[in-house]
Amino acid sequence: MRTPLTPEERERGERLGRLLREARGDRSMTQIAASAGISAETLRKIETGRAPTPAFFTVAALAGALGLSMDEMAGRCTPAEV
């Protein structure tokens, strides 16, 4: 059985999805997914938060396909300190 996600994990997944949608811009989901070596359905799940904790290598492949650094992605997906 899978451990339920914490609210922080769900929120981080939502931030990742927003970042990916913004970085993708007007490029198609299919184009970016193919470039990253993943299915368009996997990308759709990540972008919509249905897969809030994708594997590191999936995130790295998407970063490469979108021209983002892993540092930038991590920084933009981490909540701001209050």
Dump pLDDT digits (tens) for 2-59: 788 888 888 888 999 999 999 999 999 999 999 999 999 999 999 998 888 899 999 9
The tens digit of pLDDT for each residue in 34-48 reads: 999 999 999 999 999
pLDDT at 58: 96
Domain contains 22: yes
Domain contains 81: no
State both tokens at 75: 């920084």
Residue with tokens 């809030």: 52
Domain contains 80: no
pTM of the model: 0.86
pLDDT at 39: 96
In angstroms, rounded to a whole number, what is the distance separating the alpha carbons of residues 67 and 79? 22
Domain contains 79: no
Q: Which domain holds residue 47?
A: 7-73
**H-assigned helices in 1-82:** 7-24, 29-36, 40-48, 56-66, 70-77
Instruction: Give the CATH number, domain containing residue 43.
Output: 1.10.260.40
Q: Could you give the number of structural domains in the chain? A: 1
